[in-house]
Amino acid sequence: ETGVTQTPRHLVMGMTNKKSLKCEQHLGHNAMYWYKQSAKKPLELMFVYSLEERVENNSVPSRFSPECPNSSHLFLHLHTLQPEDSALYLCASSQGTGNYGYTFGSGTRLTVV
């Protein structure tokens, strides 16, 4: 148990579907992150939330919509995705600015068909 739980572990969705990824942390951290990890590509930081406020959005397409209702939960809402959005989506959390390191969840393997 890493302290950061992501659900579901695997998701297959059609391009017209709407789905959500969920991340929950039980570490008392106050910052949360979404990363995208595609095959043969480096980790891509998508969104950063600090104290439930979005502080960074790295030019992510609007078909990805994050939500952070409280410091323990983070969602990534998905709609009208493309096949190239298939990837491992990783959630992480940290205390403060995160310069002491992050704790990662196990990820959600997303396949868009």
Partner 1 sequence: AQSVTQLDSQVPVFEEAPVELRCNYSSSVSVYLFWYVQYPNQGLQLLLKYLSGSTLVKGINGFEAEFNKSQTSFHLRKPSVHISDTAEYFCAVSDVTGSSNTGKLIFGQGTTLQVKP
x/- string (CB under 8 A) for partner 1, residues 27-66?
------x--------xx-x--x-x----xx----------
Cα 86 from chain centroid (whole Å): 13
Stretch near partner 1 under the rule CB under 8 A, chosen from 12-20, 66-74, 76-84, 85-93: 85-93
CA Rg, the chain, in Å? 13
Distance in angstroms (rounded) separating the CA atoms of residues 86 and 37: 9
Residue 89 C-beta: closest distance to partner 1, Å: 10
Beta bridge partners of 53: 50
Binding segment for partner 1 (CB under 8 A), chosen from 11-19, 59-67, 73-81, 105-113, is 105-113
Asked whether position 8 contacts partner 1 by CB under 8 A, the answer is no
Task: Look at phi and psi of residue 45 and say left if phi exceeds 0, alpha if psi is from -120 to 50, else beta.
Answer: beta
Q: What is the DSSP letter of 100?
A: T
Question: Which H or E run includes 16?
Answer: none
The smaller minimum CB distance to partner 1, of residues 40 and 83, is found at 40
Per CB under 8 A, residues contacting partner 1 are 2, 4, 6, 33, 42-43, 45, 48, 50, 55-56, 88, 90, 92, 94, 96-107, 109
